[in-house]
């Protein structure tokens, strides 16, 4: 090793700034939920014609628990993907609660269909979609900002999990506003529409969360010092 090389390494070491390790994914997901849930409570309090009561049924409780579990587990998985060395298998973590969530809504649709023999009018309930988007707006912004602090080497997977987490928690919140919607309305305006939007966002994953953006921000911060 030449003297110039030794000096160069010494200068790099002196100029380097300490890197603080990110908290564990479950802790970051907990922080995200602690910000998202009060916001959803505020939406429920301020939303016009929000129901003061909720259905006292097991299916509604199961649907809500499954939606929230999907959101939390997907958020943990999303935060895990921005840690270098993470496996893509982490994307399988939310599969079980997601399957329970979808199955619960589908079962309600089947029962309603067998009871009346037809679907309820759906277009008149199109306001459910913007309501869900309002509920998911702040949680989506917060989780993207938090994910950009990591190393999103798998941006499409990270974005997909973040979108699933946002869809889950947004639907959890907005169902208290539209607590008595039929299963078909929930399926079309709460699930299918939001997941369609999530697919579009997933396709834009490398623009929403990207290692290049994180590196550029880190470099700019270092130069600013």
158-205 residue pLDDT tens: 988 998 999 889 888 888 877 766 666 777 766 776 777 777 777 766
Q: CA separation (Å) from 6 to 3, 17, 18, 138, 143?
A: 5, 19, 21, 49, 42
Return the percentage of the chain with pLDDT > 90, whole number.
Answer: 24
Which residue has better confidence, 202 or 75?
75
Please write down the long-range contacts of 117-123, taking CB distance under 8 Å and 24 or more positions apart. 119/184, 120/182, 120/184, 120/185, 122/184, 122/185, 122/188, 122/189
Q: Give the domain ranges of the chain.
A: 30-48+55-224
pTM, to two decimals: 0.77
Q: CA separation (Å) from 87 to 31, 41, 93, 132?
A: 23, 35, 11, 31
Q: Is the pLDDT of residue 16 over 50?
A: yes
- For the ranges 94-98, 146-150, 193-197, 218-222, the one whose mean pLDDT is highest: 94-98
């Amino acid at each position: 090793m030449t003297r110039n090389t030794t000096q160069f390494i010494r200068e790099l070491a002196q100029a380097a700034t300490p890197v603080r390790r990110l908290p564990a994914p479950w802790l970051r997901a907990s922080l995200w939920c602690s910000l998202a849930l009060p916001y959803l409570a505020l939406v429920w309090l301020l939303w016009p014609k929000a129901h003061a009561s909720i259905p006292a049924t097991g299916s509604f409780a199961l649907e809500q628990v499954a939606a929230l579990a999907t959101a939390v587990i997907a958020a943990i998985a999303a935060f895990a993907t921005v840690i270098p060395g993470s496996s893509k298998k982490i994307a399988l973590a939310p599969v079980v609660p997601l399957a329970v969530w979808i199955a619960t809504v589908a079962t309600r649709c089947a029962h309603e269909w067998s009871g009346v023999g037809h679907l309820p009018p759906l277009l008149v309930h199109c306001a459910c979609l913007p309501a869900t988007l309002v509920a998911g707006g702040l949680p989506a912004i917060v989780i993207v900002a938090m994910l950009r602090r990591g190393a999103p080497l798998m941006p499409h997977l990270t974005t997909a999990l973040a979108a699933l987490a946002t869809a889950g928690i947004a639907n959890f919140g907005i169902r208290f506003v539209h607590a008595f919607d039929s299963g078909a309305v929930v399926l079309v305006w709460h699930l299918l529409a939001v997941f369609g939007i999530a697919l579009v966002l997933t396709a834009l994953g490398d623009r929403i969360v990207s290692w290049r953006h994180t590196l550029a921000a880190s470099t700019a911060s270092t130069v600013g010092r």
